Each structure stands twice: as C-alpha cells, then as structure tokens.
Amino acid sequence: MKRKEVVYTHQLGETLHRLAHGGLLLASTRADGASNVMTIGWATVGVVWGLPVMVVLVRPSRYTYQFIEESQSFAVNVPTPEMKDYVTLCGTRSGRDVDKLAEIATSVGQSVDSVVLDACPLVYECRVVHWNDVQPPNLAPNVLDRSYSHGDFHRLYYGHIVGTYAQ
C-alpha cells in the first residue's frame, strides 16, 4: 500500500494518545522475510542528535527483540480505535506461538524493509541508530519495584524516523 509521506509531527498528539490508551503496534522483519508485531505501551518521540527519533522499549524475552536485533529497523504502526481487539491480541500472544500477521493486510515499508500494517492510518519507519539496556542501579526504586519485579529489563532502541507515512 502506497502512503503519502508526512512530517513526523503529523498527528503526533494522536500517536501519543493511542500509545497511552491501548498501545501502538511495533513490527520488524528479519532478512529471511519473517516478520512479527507486538503491542507497545512505552515509547517516546523527540529530537536526538539533530534527528527525529522514536525510542521504543523491548524486553529481550519478547519475540520481536530478535527481529530488531537482526534487522536494526522497525516500524511503529498507529492503530485505529476499531483495532482494539487486534492490539489486545498482539499484546497478549507471542509470535512464537501464533502468526499475528496471518489475518491482517501488510505491506513492506517505504523507507525500511520492515512490515507495516495496512489498516493503520499512520506509520513511523525507523532505523536503529543507538541502543542501550536499562541499568537496574540507575532506576528510581519505585520504578524498579513497579516495572521490573521479575527482572527482564528492557532494551531501548533509538530509531531514526526515516519516514512517516499516512493514508
């Protein structure tokens, strides 16, 4: 599906609203063509190193982690409210157990080789420019207790937003 390119700030308020109310859909594709999608509820958008950047957090235990590690790219898809059930599915089932992309139309990104979801009206295509791991000693105790009671600390991927596309 061909989308029109827009500035990364296009409907940024809606992106942040969806992030806080249900989540966004993070997708990535490996060199062998396999893809996966997961729901994310933690991310941020801004300017780092003079670049528009989306920072996404992915735990090493998540199936999508290996896709981003290999490809060094990802797409953040902004779902519609009507996609609530699909967003829930992607946040509760692992791609190791179910092909979450089997019943939804997808395309290849315009700026990266990651899969994008055709039903999503806005997509941020990103190339990893930096990553770092959450360091437990550097976390505020209340964040550590609330978000990491079982360990499995996130990796933060700083993705240069190389293209933002809208339907």
> C-alpha distances in angstroms, 139 versus 35, 107, 123?
32, 38, 31
pLDDT of residue 3: 96
The reported pLDDT for the residue numbered 1 is 76
- What is the pLDDT at residue 137? 95
Q: CATH no. for residue 121?
A: 2.30.110.10
Q: Do residues 92 and 82 lie in contact, with contact meaning Cβ atoms separated by under 8 Å? A: no
Q: Which domain holds residue 135?
A: 4-166
Q: What is the reported pLDDT for 18?
A: 97
State how far the Cα of 13 lies from the Cα of 27, in Å rounded to an integer. 21
CA-based nearest residue to 67, from 101, 8, 105, 26: 26
What pLDDT is recorded for position 57?
A: 98
Q: Mind listing the pLDDT tens digit of every residue in the chain (167 residues)?
A: 789 999 999 999 999 999 999 999 999 999 999 999 999 999 999 999 999 999 999 999 999 999 999 999 999 999 999 999 999 999 999 999 999 999 899 999 999 999 999 999 999 999 999 999 999 999 999 999 999 999 999 999 999 999 999 99
How many domains are there within the chain?
A: 1
Count of C-beta atoms within a 10 Å radius of residue 167: 12
Cα 78–Cα 25–Cα 6 angle in degrees, nearest 5: 35
- pLDDT at position 103 is 87
Q: Which helix (H) or strand (E) covers residue 40, if one does?
A: strand 35-40
